[in-house]
Amino acid sequence: MTACGGEATNEAPRSARPVGLRGSVLGLYLTLECPGCGQAFEVYQPTVAGMAVGCHECPRCHLVSEVTPDELETALTQFAPTRSFAEMEALTAEAAHLAENWYRTPPLDQVLGWQGLNLGEPAERWLAAFFVQGLLAGLGQGED
> Looking at per-residue confidence, does 37 or 105 come out higher?
37
pLDDT 10s digits, 53-104? 567 889 999 998 888 777 877 888 887 777 788 887 888 888 888 888 888 8
More confident residue, 83 or 26: 83
DSSP string across the chain: -B-TTS-B-SSPPEEPEEEEEEE-SSSEEEEEE-TTT--EEEEEESSHHHHTTEEEE-TTT--EEEE-HHHHHHHHHHHSPP--HHHHHHHHHHHHHHHHHGGGSTTHHHHTEETTEETTGGGHHHHHHHHHHHHHHHTTS---
- Give the pLDDT of residue 140: 66
Phi/psi for 113 (5° steps) reads: -80, 140
Q: Give the pTM.
A: 0.52
- pLDDT on residue 99: 80
Q: What confidence tier does 31 reach under pLDDT thresholds 50, 70, 90?
A: very high
Q: Report whether pLDDT(33) > 90.
A: yes
**Can you tell me the mean pLDDT for 8-28?**
73
Position 12 scores a pLDDT of 67
**Average of per-residue pLDDT across 10-30:** 77
pLDDT value of position 51: 45
When comparing pLDDT for 123 and 35, which is higher?
35
The pLDDT of residue 58 is 92
User: Where are the chain's structural domains?
Assistant: 14-79, 85-138
